[in-house]
Amino acid sequence: MRNSFFFLLLAWGVAPLVAQDKPVPRLAVVITVDQMRADYLARFGPYFGEGGFKRLLAGGADYRDCHYQHAITTTAPGHATILSGVNANIHGIIGNEWLDPQTYIQGNAVEDAGSPLVGLPPRPGRHPNAILAAKAGRSPKNFLGTTVGDRLKARYGATAKVYGVADKDRSAILPTGSKADGAYWTEEGLFITSTYYRAELPAWVREFNERRNATQYFGQVWDRLLPRAVYDAVQGPDDAPGEQAEDSLPVTLPMRIDGGQATLTSTFFNAFDHVPWNNELVAEMAMHTVVTQQLGQDDVPDLLAVGFSQPDKAGHAYGPDSHEVMDSYLRLDRTLAAFLDQLEATVGLAHCVIVLTADHGVCPLPEKIAAEQGPDAAGRIEMGPVRQQLAAALDAAFGALPADLYWIVGDGYGLRVSPAALAARQVTAARVATELKAALLRDRRFVAAYTRAELTGTGPLDAWGEMMRRSYHPDRSPDLMFVLHPYFLTRQLGTNHGMPHAYDTHVPQVWFGAGVKAGVHDERVGVEDIAPTLAGLLGVDLPDAKGRKLF
């Protein structure tokens, strides 16, 4: 009967999406922890409780050697890849922001002036439209890929529900794709959306904002869950060289979360992004979405993408070896345990498939590496002087430019050549890029560089070059892309990510729940494998995905 039905579909010109022998999970929950290195699960594991990360690891499939296969390991490309199974050369999200090739104006990965923000009420001391005016709208307009959620909506229509919930806009928007029922992220401690999804903030979201929001944490103190000696033993000293005091916060625990003001101001919300309570709000909003939107309550699969963004903010400021990062994960473990308990009570974990991963890792503080391996092993790069040296090299090669022109402008981990400079000296961008590459590589702090011609060509490149090809979109990317020496950063305090080095590419991939066989896997896998694997479990196909089904 099944074969007859298959051939009947072909006769009608309709192909079945996926032959499904197993029951389809009612709810897929994809949890992305921003800046979570894979080694954190082992490093902090002895101090986790039983119901959070340990529950997923003990009962799930742990792929311990999971890496991104693209070079520019930043937040937006990572989130765009997780549920599409393709890289920026296809989905077009080349960075968190990039310069428009025509206007040279920088835009955000999810920026869309045609989709204004909705959901921010007036606050005392702020013009009602201050943030709305300061920020363009948000949507997945710039995303060129297809996600698992898009395929669910294509197959089941409105009966399949797809939602994204996160602290960052791009973390809620990009994993869910273009057909999501909703994406909700925070501004000033409230969950908002844009007109791409809804003309007004839904009543169920307004109710949550009234009941639970960041202002309830004003003036509270973040301190360690465990004795300080435990953190010292695992992470080293709390006050380490290179840490960054930002948003009116110190570089040591405990810290009072008030934005440095006696009353509530916008600086408090910036500070709140650093602290673990941020994750609690995200988890509670995610569960509120499950309950109010009745996710997982029928046999048609639903999808919820949850993004915990706070570890990225703390990690940037204090580094992966800090007390703040360790405490963030110990507290996130408790938050995750409560979330899983609630999923058990509302949907039943036996009816869910859960994926845990990250959008990227992070580099250790260069000061730590330099102290351990010597001063030449790590460092910080000021890009202003570098660009001046490169401009001088171009002047020498092609003739100095008039004072009102410039050769290059920085664009992420790349350089864009000015069309006006090309016209003035009657040279091609390809020639200038070749000269730029040679000049840049004379600086040992840069270990590789690739021109547009190389990245768009068909000839083989080295391993980093092939990774850079996956991060390169010819309509959006600059004329030259570069790779920093390991443990070198262009950030002057704190730390960063974005390179094809293992500390940035190596992230968790843990599966749990319906259709998953528990076990530890040491084979090398890619984040690109998540989307086709999840699509298979949910009974849809994802024909453009470059990854493979893991089971």
Q: List, by residue number, the catalytic residues.
A: 75
The answer on whether 411 is annotated among ligand-binding residues is: no
Instruction: Please name the residues in contact with 319: beta carbons below 8 A apart, sequence gap of 6 or more.
Output: 240, 242, 243, 325, 362, 364, 365, 368, 494, 495
The answer on whether 96 is annotated among ligand-binding residues is: yes
The answer on whether 26 is annotated among ligand-binding residues is: no
Which strands form 480-484's sheet, in the order they lie side by side? 408-410, 414-417, 480-484, 446-451
Pair of tokens at residue 346: 């509302």
Pair of tokens at residue 414: 């790349």
CA distance 112 to 5: 44
**222-to-226, 271, 274 alpha-carbon distances in Å:** 12, 11, 10
Pair of tokens at residue 165: 């919930």
CA distance 256 to 237: 20
E strand or H helix that includes residue 308? strand 302-308
CA distance 10 to 167: 44
DSSP string, 429-497: HHHHHHHHHHHHTTSTTEEEEEEHHHHHSSS---HHHHHHHHT--TTTS-SEEEEEPTTEES-SSS---
Best CA proximity match to 179, nearest among 202, 200, 149, 156 = 149
CA triple 141-144-146, angle to 5 deg: 110
Phi then psi for residue 524, to 5 deg, are: -75, 125
CA distance 31 to 354: 7
CA distance 318 to 362: 11
CB 540 within 8 A of CB 18: yes
Give the β-pairing of 61-67 and 519-526: parallel
CB 445 within 8 A of CB 389: no
Three-state DSSP class for residue 416: strand
For the annotated binding site for substrate, the residues are 96, 168-170
What residues are designated binding site? 96, 168-170
